[in-house]
Structure 1
């Protein structure tokens, strides 16, 4: 691992209900694109803005661990599962910053839709003081920014990874990953509930875990990842 002043860590949050190949492939490609030392994949405990998942945080964490397996650079991080109450990204970033130090290059990776909703997040004004924001863009997706969001990122956007990593926090980079997969956890859950095949949508280890524990047999709420 690099010297502490240049270590690069990313936070990739989501419900992971269940974790699927799209989540995991995005995490691997994010790590490659930003030359990261680790991508902390963090299951949300209680989402602030959405319906709580029908599957417990403990099961979702276990599925994430099973899905990651021994993949280099990916970490199944339980810090939100261990924390009571709502899972606010600003608190998670503060926890990562405390753990890794003031000089580590800390990145919060979010999907485009989550990025557009940042002004609705808890203490969103603090996010860029704790980390860089990397927006995983969707091709041909343009939408005007809310004034609060435009104000938040004004003068902070950079165009290269090298520029992003010149400081521990405070910049924004838009990034397109090579194989952004159009897999939705809602569709995976629907297929599981209807007894249809999910092969090649989720890792076999996750499929085995779901079968062993009898998960998703009845309809349950939940949302896809890459969000607060």
Structure 2
């Protein structure tokens, strides 16, 4: 996750969950990423998790790196695009906590801040991709994460994730896997749940490369995000970018 306090535009709260879902606070789910830019694959993961878990998905844009330029758009633009992409979408919400804090913002620190806000008894989950799970041993204080949150892993069907876990990760996750959202709600942290994620084309890297190279890219992002990118000339599109405040 990102670093440093960022100036970002206000984002409006999203629509509440349909009444068939449990109370949103019965499971707090956070989905972090740079969202640079937010694309249809991100939204597919968030929607699938929302429907499978029956709760709000809090999408957290990462802060800008403190010692170098952002790889694509800065935090203000990324937050605004994310807000536009999920405006009016039930059960998806922008969470700016990583942009509002000072200093480095590691996942473990973010989850500790969540615990300070909501207490130790509320079930909390971090939504990550399978590749992020495989890289978990490189994260700061990664073993502490199991005491702070559940991990919900968006896994593409047929990925054989079990066969790819490094030994240290296989040992750390042994006995933690569960097969339902109900199991996550039964304890505050420490469990892992697979979500079989439908394959969706495109990635943020591909979107940026296509824009910079003049290739087709509009069908990889929501229409409002495409309009925003064009209006602000992001990712090398037609010259210098304009500020997010315009």
TM-score exceeds 0.5: yes
The answer to whether residue 97 in structure 2 is matched with residue 75 in structure 1 is no
Task: Please name the residue that 2:151 is paired with.
Answer: 133
How many residue pairs match? The answer is: 214
Aligned counterparts of 1:109 and 1:83: Cα–Cα separation in 2:
21
Task: Please name the residue that 1:176 is paired with.
Answer: 196
Task: Please name the residue that 1:98 is paired with.
Answer: 116
Give the TM-score, by structure 2 length: 0.79
Cα distance change of structure 1 residues 87 and 53 upon mapping to structure 2, 3 Å threshold = farther
2:72 to 49, 54, 72: 54
Q: Residue 42 of structure 1 contacts residue 77 of structure 1 at CA under 8 Å; is this kept in 2?
A: yes
Aligned counterparts of 1:200 and 1:98: Cα–Cα separation in 2:
41
Q: Residue 7 of structure 1 contacts residue 104 of structure 1 at CA under 8 Å; is this kept in 2?
A: yes
Aligned counterparts of 1:161 and 1:96: Cα–Cα separation in 2:
20
Two-structure CA RMSD over aligned residues (Å): 2.3
Aligned counterparts of 1:77 and 1:53: Cα–Cα separation in 2:
21
1:214 to 233, 237, 240: 233
2:172 to 146, 149, 152: 152
Report the Cα offset of residue 12 of structure 1: 0.7
Task: Please name the residue that 1:86 is paired with.
Answer: 104
Give the TM-score, by structure 1 length: 0.85
Report the Cα offset of residue 3 of structure 1: 6.2
Q: Residue 12 of structure 1 contacts residue 40 of structure 1 at CA under 8 Å; is this kept in 2?
A: yes
Q: Residue 15 of structure 1 contacts residue 43 of structure 1 at CA under 8 Å; is this kept in 2?
A: yes
Secondary structure of residue in 1 paired with 2:208: helix
Identify the structure with bigger relative contact order (alpha carbons < 8 Å, sequence gap 6+).
Answer: 1
Following TM superposition, where does structure 1 have runs of at least 4 consecutive aligned residues deviating by more than 6 angstroms?
none
Structure 1, unaligned runs of 5 or more: 219-228
Aligned counterparts of 1:185 and 1:207: Cα–Cα separation in 2:
13
Task: Please name the residue that 1:188 is paired with.
Answer: 207
Deviations 1:171-198 (A, max 9, x none): 1111103x34122111111221133332
Deviations 1:9-50 (A, max 9, x none): 2111111110001101210110110111x11111111469xx
Structure 2, unaligned runs of 5 or more: 1-16, 238-246
The answer to whether residue 84 in structure 2 is matched with residue 66 in structure 1 is yes
